[in-house]
Structure 1
Protein backbone atom coordinates (compact mmCIF):
# COMPACT_ATOMS: atom_id res chain seq x y z
CA UNK A 1 0.00 0.00 0.00
CA UNK A 2 1.45 3.33 -1.05
CA UNK A 3 1.20 6.37 1.17
CA UNK A 4 -0.74 9.40 -0.07
CA UNK A 5 2.53 11.19 -0.81
CA UNK A 6 3.84 8.24 -2.81
CA UNK A 7 0.55 7.75 -4.67
CA UNK A 8 0.48 11.40 -5.78
CA UNK A 9 4.15 11.82 -6.68
CA UNK A 10 4.78 13.83 -9.85
CA UNK A 11 7.95 14.08 -11.92
CA UNK A 12 9.02 16.99 -14.14
CA UNK A 13 8.84 16.24 -17.87
CA UNK A 14 9.41 18.12 -21.09
CA UNK A 15 5.73 19.05 -21.45
CA UNK A 16 4.75 19.31 -17.77
CA UNK A 17 4.70 16.50 -15.23
CA UNK A 18 4.17 12.75 -15.20
CA UNK A 19 2.54 10.61 -12.52
CA UNK A 20 1.63 6.96 -12.01
CA UNK A 21 -1.96 6.59 -10.80
CA UNK A 22 -2.32 4.05 -7.98
CA UNK A 23 -5.26 1.57 -8.27
CA UNK A 24 -5.66 1.58 -4.48
CA UNK A 25 -7.22 5.06 -4.57
CA UNK A 26 -10.39 3.91 -6.30
CA UNK A 27 -14.07 3.12 -5.84
CA UNK A 28 -14.68 -0.11 -7.71
CA UNK A 29 -12.71 0.18 -10.93
CA UNK A 30 -12.95 4.00 -11.06
CA UNK A 31 -10.17 6.15 -9.60
CA UNK A 32 -11.41 8.51 -6.90
CA UNK A 33 -12.14 12.08 -8.02
CA UNK A 34 -10.50 13.72 -5.01
CA UNK A 35 -7.37 11.63 -5.63
CA UNK A 36 -7.19 12.81 -9.25
CA UNK A 37 -7.58 16.41 -8.05
CA UNK A 38 -4.73 15.88 -5.57
CA UNK A 39 -2.38 14.54 -8.25
CA UNK A 40 -3.18 17.55 -10.44
CA UNK A 41 -2.79 19.95 -7.53
CA UNK A 42 0.61 18.47 -6.64
CA UNK A 43 1.82 19.23 -10.16
CA UNK A 44 0.46 22.78 -9.92
CA UNK A 45 2.11 23.23 -6.50
CA UNK A 46 5.43 22.15 -8.00
CA UNK A 47 5.00 24.65 -10.82
CA UNK A 48 3.95 27.47 -8.45
CA UNK A 49 7.04 27.19 -6.29
CA UNK A 50 7.63 28.36 -2.70
CA UNK A 51 6.04 31.78 -3.17
CA UNK A 52 2.56 30.15 -3.41
CA UNK A 53 2.95 26.78 -1.69
CA UNK A 54 -0.65 25.68 -1.14
CA UNK A 55 -3.78 25.21 -3.23
CA UNK A 56 -6.54 27.41 -1.83
CA UNK A 57 -9.23 26.86 -4.48
CA UNK A 58 -9.56 24.07 -7.02
CA UNK A 59 -12.34 23.54 -9.56
CA UNK A 60 -12.13 20.35 -11.59
CA UNK A 61 -14.31 19.12 -14.44
CA UNK A 62 -14.09 15.37 -14.94
CA UNK A 63 -14.14 14.35 -18.60
CA UNK A 64 -13.44 10.62 -18.61
CA UNK A 65 -12.14 8.19 -15.99
CA UNK A 66 -8.45 7.33 -16.41
CA UNK A 67 -7.07 3.88 -15.76
CA UNK A 68 -4.38 3.23 -13.15
CA UNK A 69 -0.96 3.84 -14.62
CA UNK A 70 0.94 6.64 -16.36
CA UNK A 71 -0.64 10.06 -16.90
CA UNK A 72 0.64 13.51 -17.79
CA UNK A 73 -0.28 16.81 -16.15
CA UNK A 74 0.27 20.01 -18.10
CA UNK A 75 0.24 23.27 -16.15
CA UNK A 76 -0.36 26.74 -17.58
CA UNK A 77 0.28 29.86 -15.52
CA UNK A 78 -2.56 32.36 -15.91
CA UNK A 79 -1.58 35.06 -13.42
CA UNK A 80 0.91 35.53 -10.59
CA UNK A 81 0.31 38.08 -7.85
CA UNK A 82 1.72 38.76 -4.41
CA UNK A 83 -0.80 36.74 -2.40
CA UNK A 84 -2.12 34.28 -5.01
CA UNK A 85 -1.42 32.76 -8.39
CA UNK A 86 -3.84 31.15 -10.85
CA UNK A 87 -3.18 28.13 -13.04
CA UNK A 88 -4.94 25.91 -15.55
CA UNK A 89 -4.04 22.22 -15.48
CA UNK A 90 -4.98 19.18 -17.56
CA UNK A 91 -4.60 15.55 -16.51
CA UNK A 92 -4.40 13.33 -19.59
CA UNK A 93 -3.80 9.70 -20.40
CA UNK A 94 -2.73 8.30 -23.78
CA UNK A 95 -3.18 11.78 -25.25
CA UNK A 96 -6.82 12.14 -24.15
CA UNK A 97 -7.85 14.66 -21.46
CA UNK A 98 -9.37 13.12 -18.34
CA UNK A 99 -9.77 16.16 -16.05
CA UNK A 100 -9.42 19.92 -16.42
CA UNK A 101 -8.69 22.09 -13.38
CA UNK A 102 -8.47 25.73 -12.47
CA UNK A 103 -6.26 26.09 -9.41
CA UNK A 104 -5.54 29.12 -7.22
CA UNK A 105 -2.38 28.85 -5.15
CA UNK A 106 -1.61 30.87 -2.02
CA UNK A 107 -0.39 30.35 1.53
CA UNK A 108 -2.40 28.65 4.28
CA UNK A 109 -1.83 29.02 8.01
CA UNK A 110 -3.55 27.84 11.18
CA UNK A 111 -4.73 31.22 12.45
CA UNK A 112 -8.10 31.52 14.14
CA UNK A 113 -10.87 32.94 11.94
CA UNK A 114 -11.67 36.64 12.11
CA UNK A 115 -15.36 35.61 12.06
CA UNK A 116 -17.22 32.32 11.72
CA UNK A 117 -20.94 31.63 11.46
CA UNK A 118 -20.64 27.88 11.08
CA UNK A 119 -20.64 25.88 14.33
CA UNK A 120 -18.84 22.56 14.64
CA UNK A 121 -21.44 19.80 14.12
CA UNK A 122 -22.34 17.47 16.96
CA UNK A 123 -21.53 13.84 16.21
CA UNK A 124 -21.00 10.70 18.29
CA UNK A 125 -17.44 10.09 19.47
CA UNK A 126 -15.11 8.59 16.89
CA UNK A 127 -15.00 5.19 18.63
CA UNK A 128 -18.81 5.09 18.57
CA UNK A 129 -18.89 5.45 14.79
CA UNK A 130 -18.83 2.57 12.30
CA UNK A 131 -15.63 1.82 10.38
CA UNK A 132 -16.61 1.18 6.76
CA UNK A 133 -15.03 -1.98 5.29
CA UNK A 134 -13.58 -1.93 1.79
CA UNK A 135 -15.61 -5.03 0.90
CA UNK A 136 -18.97 -4.67 2.68
CA UNK A 137 -21.33 -7.66 2.68
CA UNK A 138 -23.61 -7.66 -0.34
CA UNK A 139 -21.64 -5.01 -2.23
CA UNK A 140 -21.18 -5.53 -5.96
CA UNK A 141 -17.67 -4.05 -6.01
CA UNK A 142 -14.87 -3.29 -3.53
CA UNK A 143 -14.17 0.26 -2.36
CA UNK A 144 -10.37 0.17 -2.32
CA UNK A 145 -10.27 3.78 -1.13
CA UNK A 146 -11.46 2.59 2.29
CA UNK A 147 -8.21 0.67 2.74
CA UNK A 148 -6.19 3.89 2.50
CA UNK A 149 -8.68 6.40 3.98
CA UNK A 150 -10.54 5.24 7.07
CA UNK A 151 -14.18 6.37 7.16
CA UNK A 152 -15.91 6.07 10.56
CA UNK A 153 -19.52 7.18 10.04
CA UNK A 154 -22.30 8.15 12.41
CA UNK A 155 -24.44 4.98 12.69
CA UNK A 156 -27.63 7.02 12.37
CA UNK A 157 -26.69 7.87 8.78
CA UNK A 158 -26.14 4.23 7.79
CA UNK A 159 -29.70 2.89 8.03
CA UNK A 160 -29.69 2.33 4.25
CA UNK A 161 -27.32 -0.60 4.81
CA UNK A 162 -30.09 -2.32 6.78
CA UNK A 163 -32.74 -1.77 4.13
CA UNK A 164 -34.04 1.53 5.50
CA UNK A 165 -33.00 4.39 3.19
CA UNK A 166 -32.31 7.74 4.83
CA UNK A 167 -34.57 10.71 4.22
CA UNK A 168 -32.12 13.36 5.45
CA UNK A 169 -29.70 13.35 2.52
CA UNK A 170 -26.67 13.70 4.77
CA UNK A 171 -23.82 11.74 6.33
CA UNK A 172 -21.24 12.56 8.98
CA UNK A 173 -18.25 10.98 10.62
CA UNK A 174 -14.46 10.95 10.97
CA UNK A 175 -11.70 10.49 8.40
CA UNK A 176 -8.11 9.35 8.88
CA UNK A 177 -5.34 8.35 6.49
CA UNK A 178 -4.88 4.64 7.20
CA UNK A 179 -1.07 4.81 7.36
CA UNK A 180 -1.21 7.32 10.21
CA UNK A 181 -0.06 10.29 8.14
CA UNK A 182 -1.58 13.61 9.16
CA UNK A 183 -3.76 15.52 6.73
CA UNK A 184 -2.27 18.31 4.63
CA UNK A 185 -3.70 20.73 2.05
CA UNK A 186 -3.32 18.24 -0.82
CA UNK A 187 -4.80 15.23 0.98
CA UNK A 188 -7.75 17.39 2.08
CA UNK A 189 -8.87 17.20 -1.56
CA UNK A 190 -9.40 13.46 -1.07
CA UNK A 191 -11.29 14.00 2.19
CA UNK A 192 -13.64 16.47 0.48
CA UNK A 193 -14.99 13.64 -1.69
CA UNK A 194 -16.03 11.11 0.97
CA UNK A 195 -17.98 7.89 0.57
CA UNK A 196 -20.73 6.75 0.37
CA UNK A 197 -22.45 9.14 -2.04
CA UNK A 198 -25.68 10.67 -0.76
CA UNK A 199 -27.63 8.87 -3.48
CA UNK A 200 -26.71 5.51 -1.94
CA UNK A 201 -27.96 6.56 1.50
CA UNK A 202 -31.27 7.50 -0.16
CA UNK A 203 -31.61 3.96 -1.50
CA UNK A 204 -30.44 4.61 -5.07
CA UNK A 205 -28.07 1.80 -6.02
CA UNK A 206 -25.47 2.54 -8.67
CA UNK A 207 -22.52 4.68 -9.65
CA UNK A 208 -22.46 8.41 -8.79
CA UNK A 209 -19.61 9.85 -10.90
CA UNK A 210 -18.53 13.41 -10.16
CA UNK A 211 -19.15 15.85 -13.01
CA UNK A 212 -17.57 18.93 -11.41
CA UNK A 213 -16.12 19.62 -7.97
CA UNK A 214 -15.02 22.92 -6.43
CA UNK A 215 -12.90 22.81 -3.27
CA UNK A 216 -11.85 25.61 -0.93
CA UNK A 217 -8.90 24.96 1.38
CA UNK A 218 -9.19 27.28 4.39
CA UNK A 219 -6.31 26.54 6.75
CA UNK A 220 -3.61 24.05 7.70
CA UNK A 221 -5.26 21.16 9.57
CA UNK A 222 -4.19 20.19 13.08
CA UNK A 223 -2.89 16.63 13.56
CA UNK A 224 -5.51 13.93 14.05
CA UNK A 225 -8.77 12.91 12.41
CA UNK A 226 -11.05 15.17 10.44
CA UNK A 227 -14.69 15.57 11.35
CA UNK A 228 -16.69 15.41 8.12
CA UNK A 229 -20.25 16.26 7.13
CA UNK A 230 -21.80 15.99 3.67
CA UNK A 231 -25.32 16.71 2.53
CA UNK A 232 -27.38 17.10 -0.62
CA UNK A 233 -30.11 19.62 -1.32
CA UNK A 234 -31.78 17.81 -4.22
CA UNK A 235 -31.59 14.85 -6.57
CA UNK A 236 -33.21 15.64 -9.91
CA UNK A 237 -32.86 14.86 -13.63
CA UNK A 238 -30.24 12.23 -12.94
CA UNK A 239 -27.95 14.61 -11.02
CA UNK A 240 -27.36 15.60 -7.40
CA UNK A 241 -25.38 18.19 -5.48
CA UNK A 242 -23.17 17.33 -2.51
CA UNK A 243 -21.68 19.84 -0.08
CA UNK A 244 -18.86 18.62 2.18
CA UNK A 245 -17.25 20.38 5.14
CA UNK A 246 -14.22 19.37 7.21
CA UNK A 247 -13.18 20.37 10.74
CA UNK A 248 -9.92 19.49 12.47
CA UNK A 249 -9.29 18.43 16.08
CA UNK A 250 -9.12 22.09 17.17
CA UNK A 251 -12.67 22.62 15.92
CA UNK A 252 -11.45 24.75 12.99
CA UNK A 253 -13.10 24.60 9.58
CA UNK A 254 -10.27 23.49 7.29
CA UNK A 255 -11.96 22.84 3.94
CA UNK A 256 -15.25 22.97 2.04
CA UNK A 257 -16.42 21.60 -1.30
CA UNK A 258 -19.46 21.51 -3.53
CA UNK A 259 -19.85 19.01 -6.31
CA UNK A 260 -22.34 18.07 -9.01
CA UNK A 261 -22.54 14.33 -9.56
CA UNK A 262 -24.49 12.11 -11.92
CA UNK A 263 -26.88 9.57 -10.43
CA UNK A 264 -26.82 6.35 -12.48
CA UNK A 265 -29.01 3.63 -10.94
Structure 2
Protein backbone atom coordinates (compact mmCIF):
# COMPACT_ATOMS: atom_id res chain seq x y z
CA UNK A 1 0.00 0.00 0.00
CA UNK A 2 1.31 3.43 -0.96
CA UNK A 3 0.38 6.70 0.75
CA UNK A 4 -0.48 9.44 -1.77
CA UNK A 5 -1.59 12.19 0.57
CA UNK A 6 -3.69 12.75 3.63
CA UNK A 7 -6.17 9.88 3.75
CA UNK A 8 -5.35 8.79 0.16
CA UNK A 9 -3.69 5.45 -0.63
CA UNK A 10 -2.96 3.25 -3.60
CA UNK A 11 -3.30 -0.52 -3.27
CA UNK A 12 -2.71 -3.53 -5.51
CA UNK A 13 -5.32 -6.24 -4.93
CA UNK A 14 -3.74 -9.70 -5.11
CA UNK A 15 -5.67 -12.40 -7.02
CA UNK A 16 -4.16 -15.00 -4.67
CA UNK A 17 -6.72 -13.91 -2.06
CA UNK A 18 -9.67 -15.06 -4.14
CA UNK A 19 -12.50 -17.59 -4.01
CA UNK A 20 -13.33 -18.55 -7.56
CA UNK A 21 -13.07 -15.39 -9.64
CA UNK A 22 -13.90 -13.02 -6.75
CA UNK A 23 -11.58 -11.43 -4.22
CA UNK A 24 -12.25 -12.60 -0.67
CA UNK A 25 -14.38 -10.23 1.40
CA UNK A 26 -12.30 -10.48 4.57
CA UNK A 27 -9.16 -9.70 2.57
CA UNK A 28 -10.77 -6.56 1.11
CA UNK A 29 -11.74 -5.36 4.58
CA UNK A 30 -8.18 -6.04 5.76
CA UNK A 31 -6.91 -3.77 2.95
CA UNK A 32 -9.22 -1.01 4.17
CA UNK A 33 -8.22 -1.72 7.77
CA UNK A 34 -4.53 -1.34 6.96
CA UNK A 35 -5.14 2.03 5.33
CA UNK A 36 -7.21 3.10 8.34
CA UNK A 37 -4.40 2.15 10.75
CA UNK A 38 -1.82 4.04 8.71
CA UNK A 39 -4.07 7.08 8.54
CA UNK A 40 -4.84 7.11 12.28
CA UNK A 41 -1.21 6.83 13.40
CA UNK A 42 0.55 5.02 16.22
CA UNK A 43 -1.91 6.04 18.96
CA UNK A 44 -4.61 3.71 17.57
CA UNK A 45 -2.68 0.78 16.08
CA UNK A 46 -5.38 -1.88 15.80
CA UNK A 47 -8.71 -2.35 14.06
CA UNK A 48 -11.28 -3.19 16.74
CA UNK A 49 -14.54 -3.09 14.77
CA UNK A 50 -15.45 -3.10 11.08
CA UNK A 51 -18.81 -2.72 9.39
CA UNK A 52 -18.42 -3.22 5.65
CA UNK A 53 -20.82 -3.05 2.71
CA UNK A 54 -19.86 -4.73 -0.56
CA UNK A 55 -21.18 -2.48 -3.28
CA UNK A 56 -19.61 -4.07 -6.37
CA UNK A 57 -16.98 -6.82 -6.74
CA UNK A 58 -13.52 -5.32 -7.35
CA UNK A 59 -11.03 -6.90 -9.73
CA UNK A 60 -7.43 -7.88 -8.93
CA UNK A 61 -5.02 -5.05 -9.66
CA UNK A 62 -4.73 -1.37 -8.84
CA UNK A 63 -7.28 0.21 -6.53
CA UNK A 64 -7.74 3.51 -4.70
CA UNK A 65 -8.41 3.74 -0.98
CA UNK A 66 -9.72 6.86 0.72
CA UNK A 67 -9.91 7.21 4.51
CA UNK A 68 -11.94 9.96 6.14
CA UNK A 69 -11.45 10.66 9.83
CA UNK A 70 -14.70 10.98 11.76
CA UNK A 71 -13.33 11.34 15.27
CA UNK A 72 -10.07 10.78 17.12
CA UNK A 73 -10.29 10.38 20.88
CA UNK A 74 -7.89 9.26 23.58
CA UNK A 75 -8.68 5.53 23.28
CA UNK A 76 -10.80 5.30 20.12
CA UNK A 77 -10.53 6.62 16.56
CA UNK A 78 -13.40 6.28 14.10
CA UNK A 79 -13.00 6.51 10.34
CA UNK A 80 -14.79 5.69 7.14
CA UNK A 81 -12.92 3.99 4.30
CA UNK A 82 -13.73 3.44 0.63
CA UNK A 83 -12.09 1.08 -1.84
CA UNK A 84 -12.66 2.21 -5.43
CA UNK A 85 -11.72 1.19 -8.97
CA UNK A 86 -12.38 3.13 -12.18
CA UNK A 87 -13.81 5.88 -10.01
CA UNK A 88 -16.59 3.64 -8.64
CA UNK A 89 -16.87 2.60 -4.96
CA UNK A 90 -16.53 -1.16 -4.56
CA UNK A 91 -16.37 -1.58 -0.75
CA UNK A 92 -17.38 0.89 1.96
CA UNK A 93 -16.53 0.46 5.64
CA UNK A 94 -16.91 2.16 8.99
CA UNK A 95 -13.89 1.24 11.11
CA UNK A 96 -13.12 1.77 14.79
CA UNK A 97 -9.46 1.77 15.85
CA UNK A 98 -7.89 1.38 19.26
CA UNK A 99 -5.21 -0.57 21.09
CA UNK A 100 -5.66 -4.29 21.77
CA UNK A 101 -3.69 -6.44 24.21
CA UNK A 102 -3.46 -10.16 24.86
CA UNK A 103 -5.23 -10.20 28.24
CA UNK A 104 -7.88 -12.87 28.69
CA UNK A 105 -11.57 -12.01 29.18
CA UNK A 106 -12.97 -10.90 32.52
CA UNK A 107 -16.06 -13.04 31.64
CA UNK A 108 -17.14 -15.02 28.60
CA UNK A 109 -20.24 -17.09 27.79
CA UNK A 110 -18.72 -19.13 24.96
CA UNK A 111 -16.37 -22.10 25.00
CA UNK A 112 -14.02 -22.95 22.12
CA UNK A 113 -15.56 -25.20 19.50
CA UNK A 114 -14.47 -28.82 19.90
CA UNK A 115 -12.35 -30.03 16.99
CA UNK A 116 -10.32 -33.20 16.44
CA UNK A 117 -6.54 -32.68 16.25
CA UNK A 118 -5.59 -30.65 13.18
CA UNK A 119 -3.84 -33.61 11.51
CA UNK A 120 -7.12 -35.59 11.69
CA UNK A 121 -9.11 -32.85 9.92
CA UNK A 122 -9.49 -32.42 6.15
CA UNK A 123 -7.12 -29.95 4.51
CA UNK A 124 -9.19 -27.93 2.01
CA UNK A 125 -7.28 -27.82 -1.31
CA UNK A 126 -7.15 -24.87 -3.68
CA UNK A 127 -8.45 -27.08 -6.51
CA UNK A 128 -11.34 -28.62 -4.55
CA UNK A 129 -13.52 -30.64 -6.91
CA UNK A 130 -16.57 -30.31 -4.68
CA UNK A 131 -16.60 -26.52 -4.92
CA UNK A 132 -16.81 -26.48 -8.72
CA UNK A 133 -14.29 -23.63 -8.94
CA UNK A 134 -10.70 -23.00 -7.82
CA UNK A 135 -10.04 -21.46 -4.40
CA UNK A 136 -6.65 -19.68 -4.62
CA UNK A 137 -7.20 -18.46 -1.04
CA UNK A 138 -6.47 -21.99 0.20
CA UNK A 139 -2.85 -21.63 -0.95
CA UNK A 140 -2.33 -18.77 1.52
CA UNK A 141 -4.68 -19.90 4.32
CA UNK A 142 -4.40 -23.54 5.42
CA UNK A 143 -7.84 -24.62 6.51
CA UNK A 144 -8.53 -28.01 8.09
CA UNK A 145 -12.24 -28.88 8.09
CA UNK A 146 -13.89 -30.89 10.88
CA UNK A 147 -14.36 -34.40 9.40
CA UNK A 148 -17.85 -34.52 10.86
CA UNK A 149 -18.80 -31.48 8.75
CA UNK A 150 -17.75 -32.99 5.41
CA UNK A 151 -21.00 -34.77 4.52
CA UNK A 152 -21.97 -32.05 2.01
CA UNK A 153 -19.00 -33.12 -0.15
CA UNK A 154 -20.66 -36.53 -0.61
CA UNK A 155 -24.11 -35.16 -1.41
CA UNK A 156 -25.46 -35.78 2.10
CA UNK A 157 -25.35 -32.44 3.95
CA UNK A 158 -26.12 -32.66 7.66
CA UNK A 159 -28.43 -29.61 7.35
CA UNK A 160 -27.29 -28.16 10.65
CA UNK A 161 -25.72 -25.11 9.01
CA UNK A 162 -22.46 -25.51 10.92
CA UNK A 163 -18.85 -25.62 9.69
CA UNK A 164 -15.86 -25.74 12.06
CA UNK A 165 -12.21 -25.45 11.01
CA UNK A 166 -8.64 -25.07 12.13
CA UNK A 167 -6.89 -22.23 10.31
CA UNK A 168 -3.31 -21.03 9.98
CA UNK A 169 -1.50 -18.79 7.51
CA UNK A 170 0.44 -20.96 5.06
CA UNK A 171 3.67 -18.95 5.30
CA UNK A 172 3.82 -19.42 9.08
CA UNK A 173 2.97 -15.80 9.89
CA UNK A 174 1.14 -15.35 13.20
CA UNK A 175 -2.42 -14.06 13.14
CA UNK A 176 -3.08 -10.40 13.90
CA UNK A 177 -6.25 -8.25 14.00
CA UNK A 178 -6.13 -7.58 10.24
CA UNK A 179 -5.58 -11.18 9.13
CA UNK A 180 -8.35 -12.31 11.52
CA UNK A 181 -10.77 -10.51 9.20
CA UNK A 182 -9.93 -13.19 6.62
CA UNK A 183 -10.47 -15.99 9.14
CA UNK A 184 -13.89 -14.57 10.05
CA UNK A 185 -15.11 -15.16 6.48
CA UNK A 186 -14.21 -18.86 6.07
CA UNK A 187 -14.67 -21.21 3.14
CA UNK A 188 -16.97 -23.07 2.61
CA UNK A 189 -19.97 -21.00 3.73
CA UNK A 190 -22.41 -22.60 6.15
CA UNK A 191 -24.93 -22.90 3.30
CA UNK A 192 -22.99 -25.93 2.01
CA UNK A 193 -24.00 -27.84 5.12
CA UNK A 194 -27.63 -26.95 4.32
CA UNK A 195 -27.47 -28.47 0.83
CA UNK A 196 -27.07 -25.07 -0.87
CA UNK A 197 -23.79 -25.29 -2.82
CA UNK A 198 -22.40 -22.48 -4.91
CA UNK A 199 -21.31 -18.91 -4.42
CA UNK A 200 -22.58 -17.02 -1.36
CA UNK A 201 -21.42 -13.42 -1.93
CA UNK A 202 -21.25 -11.17 1.12
CA UNK A 203 -23.57 -8.16 1.14
CA UNK A 204 -22.77 -6.76 4.59
CA UNK A 205 -20.16 -7.85 7.16
CA UNK A 206 -19.64 -6.67 10.74
CA UNK A 207 -16.74 -7.81 12.92
CA UNK A 208 -15.36 -7.28 16.41
CA UNK A 209 -11.66 -7.88 17.12
CA UNK A 210 -11.42 -8.55 20.86
CA UNK A 211 -7.76 -9.19 21.70
CA UNK A 212 -4.37 -9.99 20.17
CA UNK A 213 -4.25 -13.69 19.28
CA UNK A 214 -1.58 -15.99 20.68
CA UNK A 215 0.87 -17.51 18.17
CA UNK A 216 -0.37 -20.73 16.60
CA UNK A 217 -3.44 -22.00 14.73
CA UNK A 218 -6.93 -20.72 15.44
CA UNK A 219 -10.28 -22.47 15.71
CA UNK A 220 -13.22 -21.05 13.74
CA UNK A 221 -16.91 -21.85 14.11
CA UNK A 222 -19.26 -20.69 11.35
CA UNK A 223 -23.00 -21.06 11.83
CA UNK A 224 -26.00 -20.07 9.71
CA UNK A 225 -28.76 -18.51 11.80
CA UNK A 226 -31.54 -17.82 9.29
CA UNK A 227 -32.02 -18.49 5.57
CA UNK A 228 -34.83 -17.15 3.40
CA UNK A 229 -35.64 -14.70 0.63
CA UNK A 230 -32.39 -15.65 -1.14
CA UNK A 231 -30.45 -14.34 1.87
CA UNK A 232 -28.50 -16.05 4.64
CA UNK A 233 -27.04 -14.61 7.80
CA UNK A 234 -24.05 -16.29 9.42
CA UNK A 235 -22.13 -15.82 12.65
CA UNK A 236 -18.44 -16.65 13.06
CA UNK A 237 -16.42 -17.07 16.26
CA UNK A 238 -12.62 -17.39 16.42
CA UNK A 239 -10.54 -18.75 19.31
CA UNK A 240 -6.74 -18.58 19.52
CA UNK A 241 -4.31 -21.32 20.51
CA UNK A 242 -4.91 -20.50 24.20
CA UNK A 243 -8.65 -21.05 23.83
CA UNK A 244 -9.58 -17.36 24.10
CA UNK A 245 -12.21 -15.72 21.93
CA UNK A 246 -10.26 -13.25 19.78
CA UNK A 247 -12.79 -12.23 17.10
CA UNK A 248 -16.41 -12.58 16.07
CA UNK A 249 -18.50 -11.53 13.08
CA UNK A 250 -21.96 -11.51 11.54
CA UNK A 251 -22.61 -11.30 7.83
CA UNK A 252 -25.52 -11.21 5.42
CA UNK A 253 -24.88 -13.15 2.21
CA UNK A 254 -26.84 -13.97 -0.93
CA UNK A 255 -27.77 -17.60 -1.63
CA UNK A 256 -29.72 -19.37 -4.33
CA UNK A 257 -32.59 -21.32 -2.80
CA UNK A 258 -34.21 -24.31 -4.52
CA UNK A 259 -37.50 -23.64 -6.24
Q: TM-score, normalised by structure 1?
A: 0.94
* 1:196 match: secondary structure: coil
Partner residue of 2:2 out of 11, 16, 19: 11
Task: Label 1:226 to 1:138 Cα distance change in 2 as closer, same or farther (>3 A).
Answer: closer
How far, CA to CA, are the matches of 1:58 and 1:229 in structure 2? 19
How far, CA to CA, are the matches of 1:195 and 1:248 in structure 2? 18
Task: Label 1:138 to 1:184 Cα distance change in 2 as closer, same or farther (>3 A).
Answer: closer
Q: What CA deviation, in whole Å up to 9, does each residue of 1:242-264 have, x standing for no partner?
A: 10010001111100000000003
Between 119-128 and 233-242, the greater mean CA deviation after superposition = 119-128
Partner residue of 2:219 out of 212, 220, 227: 227
| Map of 2:112 onto structure 1 | 120
Q: Which runs of 5+ in 1 are unaligned?
A: 1-9
Q: Give matches, 1:126-205, under 5 Å.
A: 126-205=118-197
Q: Which runs of 5+ in 2 are unaligned?
A: none
Across the aligned residues of Structure 1 and Structure 2, the Cα RMSD in angstroms comes to 1.0
- Is 1:93 the counterpart of 2:71? The answer is no
How far, CA to CA, are the matches of 1:151 and 1:248 in structure 2? 14
| Map of 1:5 onto structure 2 | none
- Is 1:38 the counterpart of 2:26? The answer is no
Following superposition, the deviation at residue 138 of structure 1 comes to 4.7
Partner residue of 1:255 out of 240, 243, 247: 247
| Map of 2:15 onto structure 1 | 23
Q: What CA deviation, in whole Å up to 9, does each residue of 1:212-235 have, x standing for no partner?
A: 000100000000000110101111
Between 129-138 and 43-52, the greater mean CA deviation after superposition = 129-138
How far, CA to CA, are the matches of 1:248 and 1:110 in structure 2? 11
Following superposition, the deviation at residue 199 of structure 1 comes to 1.3
How far, CA to CA, are the matches of 2:197 and 2:87 in structure 1? 33
Contact 2:17 2:27 in 1 (8 A): yes
How far, CA to CA, are the matches of 1:92 and 1:227 in structure 2? 33
Structure 1 runs (4+) deviating above 6 angstroms are none
Q: What CA deviation, in whole Å up to 9, does each residue of 1:29-69 have, x standing for no partner?
A: 00000000000000000001000000000000000000000
| Map of 1:105 onto structure 2 | 97
How far, CA to CA, are the matches of 2:245 and 2:131 in structure 1? 33
Q: TM-score, normalised by structure 2?
A: 0.97
How far, CA to CA, are the matches of 2:23 and 2:232 in structure 1? 20
